[in-house]
Amino acid sequence: MDVATKSESSGLHSSLRYKIIALVGNENVHAAGAADAVAGVQPKLVIEPGTESELAEVLRLANEAGLAVIPRGGGTKLGWGNPPARADLILSTARMTEIIEHAWADLTVSVEAGGTIQRLQETLAQHGQRLALDPLWPEKATVGGVLSTNDSGALRLRFGALRDLIIGATIALPDGTLASSGGKVVKNVAGYDLPKLVTGALGTLGVITRAVFRLHPLPRNTRSFSVFSAKADETQRFVLAVQDSKLAHTFLQSQFSDEAPPVSDILFEGTEAGLTAQESQLRSLAAPANVMEASTPTWAAREELWNFVDPNTTAVAKVSLLPGDLARAMGGVEQAAKLHHLRWRALVYATGLGWVRLEGKPAALKGALQLLRVEMEIHGGSLVALHRPEKMAEFEAWGNPGDALPLMKALKQRLDPKNSLNPGRFVGGI
Amino acid sequence: MEARLLDELREIVGGRGLISSPEELHTYECDGLTNFRVMPRAVLLPNSTEEVQAIIRICHRERMPFVARGSGTGLSGGALPVQNGIVISLARMNRILEVDFPNARVVVEPGVINLDVTGRVSPQDYFYAPDPSSQSICSIGGNVAENSGGAHCLKYGFTTTHVLGLEVVLPDGLLVHFGGKTLDAPGYDLAGVFVGSEGTLGVATKIILRIVKRPECIRTLLAAFPSTNEAGAAVSDIIAAGMLPAAIEMMDDLSIQAAEAAVHANYPNCGGLLLVELDGPVAEVEALMTDVNEICRSNGASEIRVAQSDAERALVWKGRKAAFAAMGRISPNYIVQDGVIPRTALPRVLSEINRLSEEAGVRVANVFHAGDGNLHPLVLYDRRIDGQEKAAEALSARILELCIEAGGSITGEHGVGEDKKKAMSKMFAEPDLATMQRVRCAFDPLQLSNPTKVFPTPRLCGEKPGEYVAHPAESAGIAERY
């Protein structure tokens, strides 16, 4: 069936539809199917603009018509956040995949938002460089999606989060404005730092169309080790001791679960001479605990956590805590899981950011998440429910955004006054 | 100022917290950029967050603009008072409130001096990484406003990398919290937007900082090259070799002369001096130092020295950090610039600066953070010689244009402030600036917090976006609406 006819039946005004088709081409406008649903909400059309000006124009038309727009990259994390209050159009960056400029001698890269992280890393590796970030599912996740969800992994300890790696961004606003901020140089304080504002904003302020990153060299050599402890407080002591030492480690993560004692994994990068020296320092610091060469799969631990069998009986939450609070927090997870008869495992980086997976009945998952959120927030941290069974979609994803919520709403109002972008998906109903 | 208002303000901060006599106000009429001067109506020296809030509530009620001020060392006029406005000096709010070593966090008030944070945590072998050259006198609050950098930001990042949370008084007097001691607090990264906003979004009253463990060793190498071209080529090779030094600094012959005259750093006499600092585990640093040495030699370094002691290292840095002030030794007047270029454009931009300098008959000394492409050309002139000041200003503006043309920035760490706001429209297109203004309007719809800075044209915020009501200033043609 012709797209124009089909979407008429789903209530999209035909003149708008023709405008969009004229803009991006018939072949880049599709009726949305069940696979395009966003947290259970069915959109009508999927639109794939080829350039950032096309994207901005589609956005402007949709906004003018009062339609709700869901920006989409690889779609790997489309379920994160609250279900949208409305969803009319999926605005996909699938065709915007160009690596605009890898200025390798300047250690920077400019990319379009729709390219995957893996392809970017492959290009950078040709000059011995990397974007020092290890997000989930790099083979599918796009630059724009990873930025919007602020996804970071173990490398964050050493190289910082996306906010520390992004140096420039172009965003499309609902009124069709294409605005750039930051720049192409690593050091730059001219104007407001809007690249940071849109990082982690879940596409609620504008659609990221391109980004500029600072890069790091690939390591010359690496060595990694696992250190086993009997209990969480031993793990915490080890983590804090490493953090307080002169070791120059790149990753440090600890894994906990209901079936095995905790294990911490540490990775070093550098020259062979440097690695040998650090290994011996690590061994004396960890003694009497056993230090073993780590197996490679340990670095896939975060993706492993997401490899669950049944999405209807699993919840995955991102937690943020103080490193000095690690043992208490893990004790809390264990207790909450026990109380609600849940299986559990957790992965916490030395930065204090972690991921907790709970498995069991939806009602029990909800009870445990509520309990854990209260506990995290009391101690100055947070719990964000990234995946929860469809049956508990009403469980608020984000938790308490604090006293700056009215200001966040004011920002949203200034940039997206008609609430067209991802309505209802972000904190406090934004 | 009306006596009634003065009394009300005095009530908040006490008699010793209010400065209103013209003689005393002179101290506050400019910051480190002395060629702009505006007399404030009054200066307030609050002692607590509550006092800052109370002052700002009055400003809001009276529609009276305010400018927050730290130590006043800024080089772009960010703390320059605005017409009919008051200055809020945070100098008395200088307490370090909390030091948390297990989590490597420090909570400070905005008036705390940058170096005092390191001073406080150094017994436990930690330091606060951002190190602007003025670190012994500049305040953390000022660093937050300007997103200050420093020589070591190549490896350690800028102020924004190290600010995890903020307590802020918004321009309507409301107290809000951005970020916190833990990472990734739910919501927009308002701390990320606030840091570097040059005082235009509100006043920070508490700042949560990250501190860093001192590396096992630090090695500083000085290499003398015939000119900055060879030194620049060595920098490129160091980066291409996959190294990330803690700092790479470059000075040309004029800067070396000035630094020598001022602090006798014992620099070799040459056309281009490179200072490379590596830090980390001893074995790692020594292995890489051998590589750096080799790279410098192969690029024509005539002399290479490695600082042998902490004292030698300190002296090397003293020369570099004193370079701006040292210009006074070789020139009566000078303009400091702060442009940034992609590192690879360095040779081209430098030779163009040399050409322009010869053409204008005005000397330019060059000091750079060479690792990140941040140039600090110092345009030297003598005000007493007719036409020199004009020529120096023109050359200085032309250098900024060169930076923009090369794909760089008009400011790497000093900020836009009053000084470079006109250049903003050369670096950014109109929609870019308009979008930033929309962010500003969300924080400060009445434009009371350091208005007239950063942006080239004054604009008003529509209270309700989309609904048009002409403002008197707009009808009079003295402001345009965003």
Q: Do A190 and B175 touch (CB under 8 A)?
A: no
Q: Do B412 and A187 touch (CB under 8 A)?
A: yes
Nearest-Cα residue of chain A relative to residue B161: A164
B476 vs A: CB within 8 A: no
Strand partners, B98: B107
Q: Which two tokens stand for residue B267?
A: 């620099």
Contact present, A382 and B186 (Cβ < 8 Å): yes
Three-state SS at A295: coil
With contacts defined as CB-CB under 8 Å, which chain B residues touch A248?
A: 215-216, 280-281, 284
Looking at chain A, the whole-number percentage of residues with pLDDT higher than 90 is 92
Q: Do A274 and B281 touch (CB under 8 A)?
A: yes
Q: Do A408 and B187 touch (CB under 8 A)?
A: yes
Q: Do A192 and B100 touch (CB under 8 A)?
A: no
Nearest CB partner across the interface for A150, out of B161, B184, B443? B184
Longest dimension (CA), chain B: 72
Of B107, B129, B109, B113, give the one whose Cα is nearest residue B180: B107
Q: Do B186 and A399 touch (CB under 8 A)?
A: yes
Contact present, A210 and A176 (Cβ < 8 Å): no
Tell me how long chain A is: 430
Calpha distance B449→B200 (Å, rounded): 5
Query: Does the CA dihedral A375-A378-A384-A390 come out positive or negative?
Result: positive
pLDDT surpassing 90 at residue A4: no
Nearest-Cα residue of chain A relative to residue B405: A184
pLDDT surpassing 60 at residue A2: no
Average pLDDT over every residue of A186-200: 96
With contacts defined as CB-CB under 8 Å, which chain A residues touch B282?
A: 277
Q: Do A178 and B431 touch (CB under 8 A)?
A: yes
CA distances from B168 to B50, B57, B63, B76, B98 (A): 11, 13, 19, 23, 18
pLDDT tens, residue by residue, A342-365:
999 999 999 999 999 999 999 999
Nearest CB partner across the interface for B181, out of A188, A274, A380? A380
Average pLDDT over every residue of A112-134: 97
Contact present, A335 and A245 (Cβ < 8 Å): no
What values do phi and psi take at B149, rounded to 5?
-110, -120
With contacts defined as CB-CB under 8 Å, which chain B residues touch A196?
A: 160, 189, 192-193
pLDDT of residue A248: 96
First to last CA, chain B: 31
pLDDT surpassing 90 at residue A304: yes
pLDDT of residue B479: 54
pLDDT tens, residue by residue, A24-66:
999 999 999 999 999 999 999 999 999 999 999 999 999 999 9
Over chain A, what is the mean pLDDT?
95
The one-letter code for the residue type at B186 is: P
pLDDT tens, residue by residue, A228-270:
999 999 999 999 999 999 999 999 999 999 999 999 999 999 9
Between these two residues, A160 and B262, which has the higher pLDDT value?
A160
With contacts defined as CB-CB under 8 Å, which chain A residues touch B196?
A: 189, 192-193
B430 vs A: CB within 8 A: no
Nearest CB partner across the interface for A380, out of B180, B411, B442? B180
Strand partners, A313: none
Contact present, B249 and B267 (Cβ < 8 Å): no
pLDDT of residue B465: 44
Nearest CB partner across the interface for B284, out of A217, A243, A271? A271
Burial of A295 from C-beta contacts in 10 A (0-12 / 13-18 / 19+): exposed
Distance between A89 CA and the closest CA of chain B, angstroms: 24
Calpha distance A404→A401 (Å, rounded): 7
Q: What totals of helices (H) and strands (E) does chain A contain, helices first?
A: 14, 19
Q: Do B409 and A324 touch (CB under 8 A)?
A: no
CA distances from A260 to A232, A307, A345, B358 (A): 11, 18, 9, 73
Count of alpha carbons within 13 Å of A66, Cβ hemisphere only?
A: 3
Nearest CB partner across the interface for A197, out of B193, B216, B465? B193
Pairing of strands B86-89, B42-44: parallel
ipTM of this model? 0.96
Calpha distance B163→A45 (Å, rounded): 42
Average pLDDT over every residue of A329-347: 97
Which residues in chain B show pLDDT less than 70?
463-482
Calpha distance A57→A61 (Å, rounded): 6
